[in-house]
Amino acid sequence: MQRSLDRFDRLNRVEQRVFDVLSVTLVLFYAYSAVLAPVATQYHRGIYILITYVLVFLLYRTRGRLGRAVDYVLMAASAACIGYWMLNFEAINYRAGAETPVDRWVATAGVLLGVELARRVVGNVFVVLGAVMLLYGVYGAYAPDLISHAGDTFPDLCTSIFYKSDGVFGIMANVLATYVILFVIFGAFLEASGAQRFFVDFPLAAVGHTVGGPAKVAVITSGLFGSISGSAIANTVSTGSFTIPMMKKAGFKPHVAGGIEPAASIGGMFMPPIMGAGGFIMAELTGEPYSTIMLVSLFPALMYFFSVFVMVHYEARRHRIRGKDPEMEAGAILRRGWFYLLPLAVITVLMLMGYSPGYAAVLGLLACIVVSWLRKDTRMDPRGFVEAARVGTANSLTIGATVGVIGIIIGVLTYSGLVLTFADIVIALADGRLWLAILLIALASLVLGMGVPVTAAYLVTAVVAVPPLTALGVNPIAAHMIVYWLSQDSNITPPVCIAAFTGAAIAKADMWKTAFTALRFAKFLYLAPFIFAYVPAFSLDGSVSDVLVAFPLIAAGVWTYAWLLSGIWLGWFGRKPKS
């Protein structure tokens, strides 16, 4: 994200050219592949991971000349390991279980490179997690009986992790290489087309003058922009830099303004058509078309934003906060900028028609370029194309850098059989009570999310948590939705809540007060998993009449839930709600 782009400015001219060439190569290769070869081969996954590795070692550099030399050696080693896997893919699969010493050395180096990559981008917590899993994989025979397994030598464990389909080049790499990279790049091109300004101006004109108008603008803008950004933190930074000062100026306390924005921003992870990377991983895990995941996600996402909107309204009413009249009517802004919605419409319609997400993303990207030419100041020339490709590639590095450690975690979980053991533990502890199983999974996802990006937290948690949920009677898509929603809690739930802390920094407010305020406005995040579990129609599991009856009842329940949590009803009994 922005940190990666700041690092780009510190590169020398040659290194900047290399970065731009690799970024454009990534865009063109995956655009070509999505149209003509939509099924990811070893070359798709290998090229994506190779470019990610090289760019991370290029940007997240080691200090000093010697350190820089080490970085170049690591780039070369990455190219050698990943190139070896791509070129010998069939031969390695043919001799599975009888790998050569060279196979083992390459796998060991590849696994260690993945750990170092995650350390530079994500931090030490992720490295510790990967190291613990490797130790568990090697010394599993010495673990407690409940989770023990035979163990293996370190080279053989690395061989299993690096080459097998549930390791480094497994589902995470497959989804990133097939879908996510194109949608991340699409988001960058949509921003470059000038759409971000429209996504702010239109809500400002539509609701900016109402009770709590600036905060309602933050909610709507976060929904529009978050649906393409794929990151609650990026959403908080990009829209919050405008909406948080506006909320403070209108009369919201700094910690409230700083808490509303991240609470609204995480809703973008649930909002179609993009939903970050999690939606694509869910489609891959469930075997359902992504269009089905989109349809299931739409109403719950709207309910999330509706809950935040209602709570914001009553918060503003309690403190008599009102916005100011807009300089331009919403209708006029819509007439001037309606075409910025076309790229999103293109993607949504194509996926609902049955086209692959990658194909839809390519045409959406072309629509962004066409739309950019409708305004003179946003026209995307070759230089603008390169800059948008650079931003998109930089935005993808954070999640791409986790591929190696995610492969370690899932590879060891599968190898050791801990997936089934965890399911048995949850079922035993819950004693058949679904609500308790959901609480246990919420706790597990919160702890995991403290040091892991939310998409990675969802994937890892889904592997171990979906089986016990389905065993307790939850349908598979609803089970994945429960895990996916809960995997977002680390963004706004203390003690580690990066999105909330980001909002606090922008608002110049106390971090902990802001974090708990964000948690208060995002309460529906914890209610939705229970609705998914106990109301099948919430995930479109049931007849049309079931869905038509359930949706208005849920909407009414969400309004009541948000109204009660706002505390304004206490005024009816002569008690002033706490601020």
Percent of the chain whose predicted confidence (pLDDT) is above 90: 15
pLDDT of 577 higher than 80: no
Spatial neighbors of 437 by CB under 8 A, at least 6 apart, are: 426, 427, 429, 430, 468, 469, 472
Phi-psi region at 379: left, alpha or beta (left = phi > 0; alpha = psi -120 to 50)? beta
| Spatial separation of the C-alpha atoms in residues 548 and 329, rounded to whole Å | 34
One-letter amino acid for residue 6 of the chain: D
Ramachandran area for residue 474 (φ above 0: left; ψ -120 to 50: alpha; else beta):
beta
Q: Which of 122-126, 197-201, 409-413 has the lowest average pLDDT?
A: 122-126
Distances (CA, A) of 102 to 78, 88, 372, 378: 15, 11, 50, 52
Residue type, 255: H
38 vs 435, residue with greater confidence: 435
- pTM of the complete model: 0.79
C-alpha closest to that of 23 among 229, 185, 189: 185
Q: Which residues, other chains included, contact 443 with Cβ-Cβ below 8 Å and sequence gap of 6+?
A: none
In the predicted model, what is the mean pLDDT of the chain? 83
Dihedrals phi, psi of 528, to nearest 5 degrees: -55, -45
User: Where does the pLDDT of residue 570 fall: very low under 50, low under 70, confident under 90, or very high at 90 and above?
Assistant: very low
pLDDT tens digits, 35-54: 776 555 778 788 888 998 99
Instruction: Provide mean pLDDT across the span 480-487.
Output: 91
Residue 416 in 3-state DSSP? helix
| Cα–Cα distance measured from residue 202 to residue 338, given in angstroms and rounded to the nearest whole number | 10
pLDDT score, position 361: 84
Would you give the DSSP letter of residue 178? I
Query: What pLDDT score was predicted for residue 451?
Result: 55
More confident: 73 or 204:
73
pLDDT single digits (tens) 520-539: 888 888 899 999 999 998 98
Model confidence at 84, pLDDT cuts 50, 70, 90, reads: very high
The 10s digit of each residue's pLDDT in 98-138 is 889 999 999 999 999 999 998 888 778 778 888 888 999 99
DSSP state of 301: H
**Position 439 pLDDT exceeds 80:** yes
- Portion of the chain with pLDDT greater than 70, in percent: 92
DSSP helix, strand, coil percent of the chain (3-state; round to 5)? 80, 0, 20
pLDDT of residue 376: 84
Q: Residues with Cβ < 8 Å from 237, sequence gap 6 or more?
A: 1, 2, 502, 506
End-to-end CA distance of the chain: 35
Name which of 222-226, 283-287, 310-314 the model is least confident about.
222-226
Measured torsion, CA atoms of residues 54, 60, 61, 63, in degrees rounded to the nearest 10 = -170
Over residues 450-473, mean pLDDT: 81
Instruction: Give the model's confidence band at 452: pLDDT under 50 very low, under 70 low, under 90 confident, else very high.
Output: low
Q: Is the pLDDT of residue 479 over 90?
A: yes
Q: What does the pLDDT look like over 366-386, one tens digit per residue?
A: 999 999 998 888 888 889 899
Question: At which residue do the structure tokens 């001037």 appear?
Answer: 336
Q: What is the pLDDT of residues 324-333, one digit of tens each?
A: 777 778 788 8
